[in-house]
């Protein structure tokens, strides 16, 4: 029996640093839990441009299509700001999402008890928070045509088109309902049906899918702007939120800050099942490449490590092992270990990127 395959694309900035800590965790599972992966590595983003003149080669794209899962670090940096739009590091990530057809972006927002006071909201509002935002990722206003900047008379006009087909809405709705069945069985669908025809269709299709296939799941609807307000008022009223590409981008970043730090948050982008039954999948931390702290040992590896935990759960059917890893992270935080982004005004000395990774592996050892 062959091991499942995992393609690592560490990328730019702090990507390689946090991925080094993920490799420690991967190696631990191979050595201690008889859960080995065939791991390969390649380039994406600015480092791929430096080596090959493109942010993602066709060869790397082919590897991603064949892998059981892709784990990505981060892309981008100021060194690439002046590149043509088609060559910017972020185009490599967008190509992966589009060509792998990763239409469902899962962004959990979980506040560990040890970090409840680190949030900008009161601890009783965010303590124990555990919600999942499911963002449609391959359509909507970021991909719709026509788009561009052109002249009308004496002034420039920028155009982006919000476009959704009912099949695009239906498949991401199904992803949200399936997730809800494994959680608290509640879905809130967010759009702007009061002012946008695409929102009207979104609400209609989600309602139809619910009635026909998931009547056991509690469904509610909310306008996206009201949803933003409710996320900051009482976020624990939600379980799974499903929404479109643009609103999902905004709402998931808002939800991210409820937990206190972008350095804590993983994500998964899932597509249709492959021949082996596993969904095509890419896992990545929500944070960026953080060029201002690159190479200083200050990066928080937890988001990338938790992204691997999501891979264990959603790509490899190892939910118990994913929980083991998440509990190891929680235990380290409960012990008071903090990377620089989690220090705040507490005055304690931060641990380095590698020290945090080592501490998590030690907690995994302690779990046996």
Q: What is the pLDDT of residue 237?
A: 96
Q: For the beta carbon of residue 117, count every other beta carbon within 10 angstroms.
A: 13
DSSP designation for 261:
-
Report how far residue 303's alpha carbon sits from residue 15's, in angstroms, rounded to the nearest whole number.
Answer: 11
- Work out the end-to-end distance of the chain between its first and last CA atoms, rounded to an integer number of angstroms: 25
Confidence of residue 345 (pLDDT cuts 50, 70, 90): low
Contact 305, 360 (CB under 8 A): yes
| Tokens found for residue 26 | 């991967």
SS3 for 129-166, per residue?
A: CEEEEEEECCCHHHCEEEEEEEEECCEEEEEEECCCCH
* Active site (catalytic) residues: 142, 192, 225, 249, 253
DSSP secondary-structure letter at 237?
A: G
C-alpha 221/C-alpha 65 separation (Å) is: 35
Quick: pLDDT tens for 159-191: 999 999 999 999 999 999 999 999 999 999 999
Omega before residue 146 within 30° of 0, cis: yes
DSSP string, 64-77: HHHSSEEEEEE---
Give the pLDDT of residue 343. Answer: 80
The answer to whether the CB of 100 falls within 8 A of the CB of 282 is yes
- 278 or 267, greater pLDDT: 267
Q: How far apart are CA 342 and CA 333, in angstroms?
A: 10
Work out the pLDDT band at 83, boundaries 50, 70, 90: very high
Taken in order 116, 352, 249, 314, the sign of the CA dihedral is negative
Dihedral sign (CA 77, 39, 98, 193): negative
Confidence at residue 347, expressed as pLDDT on a 0 to 100 scale: 61
CA atoms within 13 A on the CB side of 218: 8
Contact 236, 129 (CB under 8 A): yes
For 344, left (φ over 0), alpha (ψ -120 to 50), or beta?
left
Domains in the chain (CATH in brackets) are: 1-109+261-368 (3.40.718.10), 130-258 (3.40.718.10)
CB of 286 within 8 A of CB of 252?
yes
Across the chain, mean pLDDT equals: 94
Phi, psi angle pair for 236, to nearest 5°:
-75, 0
Task: Output phi, psi for 280, to 5 deg.
Answer: -60, 140
Neighbours of 79 (CB within 10 A): 14
Q: What is the pLDDT of residue 274?
A: 81
Say if pTM beats, i.e. exceeds, 0.85: yes
Per-residue pLDDT band at 253 (split at 50, 70, 90):
confident
Q: What is the DSSP letter of 81?
A: T
pLDDT tens column, 118-157: 777 888 888 889 999 999 999 999 989 999 999 999 999 9
């Amino acid at each position: 029996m062959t091991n499942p395959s995992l393609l690592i694309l560490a990328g730019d900035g702090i990507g390689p640093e946090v991925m080094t800590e993920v490799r420690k965790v991967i190696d631990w599972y191979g050595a201690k839990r008889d859960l080995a992966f065939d791991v390969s590595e390649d380039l994406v983003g600015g480092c791929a441009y430096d080596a090959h003149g493109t942010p993602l080669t066709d060869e790397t794209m082919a590897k991603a299509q064949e892998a059981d899962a892709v784990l990505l670090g981060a892309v981008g940096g100021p060194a690439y700001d002046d590149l043509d739009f088609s060559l910017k590091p972020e185009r490599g990530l967008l190509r992966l999402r589009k060509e792998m057809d990763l239409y469902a972006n899962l962004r959990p927002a979980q506040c560990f008890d040890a970090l409840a006071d680190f949030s900008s909201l009161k601890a009783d509002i965010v303590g124990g928070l555990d919600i999942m935002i499911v963002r449609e990722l391959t359509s909507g206003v970021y991909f719709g045509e026509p788009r561009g900047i052109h002249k009308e008379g004496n002034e420039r006009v920028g155009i982006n088109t919000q476009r959704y087909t009912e099949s695009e809405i239906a498949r991401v709705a199904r992803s949200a309902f399936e997730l809800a069945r494994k959680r608290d069985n509640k879905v809130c669908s967010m759009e702007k049906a009061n002012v946008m025809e695409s929102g009207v269709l979104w609400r209609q299709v989600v309602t139809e899918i619910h009635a026909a296939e998931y009547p056991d799941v509690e469904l509610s609807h909310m306008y996206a702007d009201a949803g933003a307000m409710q996320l900051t008022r009482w976020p624990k009223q939600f379980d799974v939120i499903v929404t479109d590409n643009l609103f999902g981008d905004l709402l998931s970043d808002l939800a991210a800050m409820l937990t206190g730090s972008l350095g804590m948050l993983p994500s998964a982008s899932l597509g249709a099942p492959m021949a082996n039954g596993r969904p095509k999948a890419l896992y990545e931390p929500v944070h960026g490449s953080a060029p201002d702290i690159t190479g200083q040992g200050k990066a928080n590896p937890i988001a990338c490590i938790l992204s691997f935990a999501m891979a264990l759960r959603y790509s490899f059917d190892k939910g118990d092992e994913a929980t083991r890893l998440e509990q190891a992270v929680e235990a380290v935080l409960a012990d008071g270990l903090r990377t620089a982004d989690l220090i705040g005004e507490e005055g304690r000395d931060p641990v380095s990127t590698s020290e945090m990774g080592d501490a998590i592996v030690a907690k995994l050892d302690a779990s046996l």
